[in-house]
């Protein structure tokens, strides 16, 4: 017999705790869980969006953030001790956004080169056939 607290009801024990939420689109949010419903929709308070590029990170304040449950990939409590001793370097928002743009451009350039090389060999990549990444 299933435990009546299985599933989203177990999130009630996480109320008022500082959580990290990884979204389907790849964004990482950190904030205090203030509300959850039967669909695992979440309300984060004092939230930030943390962007990682290499060994650097930057935090963008987001305030109150409402998240549809279907967009949550991973959710976990933040260990305060480990958060204070991150093996990463914090940089300004402008610096991390610039690094993120450069990283994305580099990925796009590599994808284009791979696509071109495959086309020269008579092959097409799935994204060239109208299939986009799931994000």
Which has the closest alpha carbon to 82: 10, 23, 30, 34? 30
pTM (global) more than 0.95: no
In a domain, 2, yes or no: no
Give the pLDDT confidence of 121-131 residue by residue, as tens digits. 888 876 554 54
Give the pLDDT confidence of 20-52 residue by residue, as tens digits. 999 999 999 999 999 999 888 999 999 999 999
pLDDT score for 124: 81
In a domain, 72, yes or no: yes
pLDDT score for 134: 47
In a domain, 45, yes or no: yes
CA 39, CA 26: separation in Å to the nearest integer? 20
Strands 56-67 and 89-90, sheet pairing: parallel
pLDDT score for 2: 55
The answer to whether 51 touches 96, Cβ cutoff 8 Å, is yes
In a domain, 53, yes or no: yes
Residue 68 pLDDT greater than 50, yes or no: yes
C-beta atoms surrounding 28 within 10 Å: 17
In a domain, 135, yes or no: no
CA count, 13 A, side-chain hemisphere, 48: 11
Number of domains in the chain: 1
**Is the four-CA dihedral 38, 41, 47, 53 of positive or negative sign?**
positive
CATH classification of the domain holding 21: 2.30.30.100
In a domain, 1, yes or no: no
- Binned at pLDDT 50, 70 and 90, residue 7 comes out as low
64 is in which domain, residue-wise?
Answer: 7-129
In a domain, 24, yes or no: yes
Residue 92 pLDDT greater than 50, yes or no: yes
In a domain, 95, yes or no: yes
CA 35, CA 119: separation in Å to the nearest integer? 50
Residue 135 pLDDT greater than 50, yes or no: no
- Binned at pLDDT 50, 70 and 90, residue 18 comes out as very high
- What are the structure tokens assigned to 76, written together? 């976990």
């Amino acid at each position: 017999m299933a435990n009546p607290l299985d599933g989203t009801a177990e999130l009630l024990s996480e109320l008022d705790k500082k959580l990290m939420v990884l979204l389907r689109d790849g964004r990482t949010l950190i904030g205090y869980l203030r509300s959850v419903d039967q669909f695992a929709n979440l309300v984060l308070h004092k939230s930030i969006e943390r962007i990682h590029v290499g060994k650097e990170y930057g935090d963008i304040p987001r305030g109150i953030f409402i998240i549809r449950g279907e967009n949550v990939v991973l959710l976990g409590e933040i260990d305060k001790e480990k958060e204070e001793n991150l093996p990463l370097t914090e940089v300004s928002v402008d610096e991390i956004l610039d690094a993120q743009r450069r990283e994305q451009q580099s990925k796009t350039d590599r994808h284009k080169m791979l696509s071109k090389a495959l086309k020269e060999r008579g092959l097409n990549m799935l994204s060239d056939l109208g299939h986009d990444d799931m994000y």
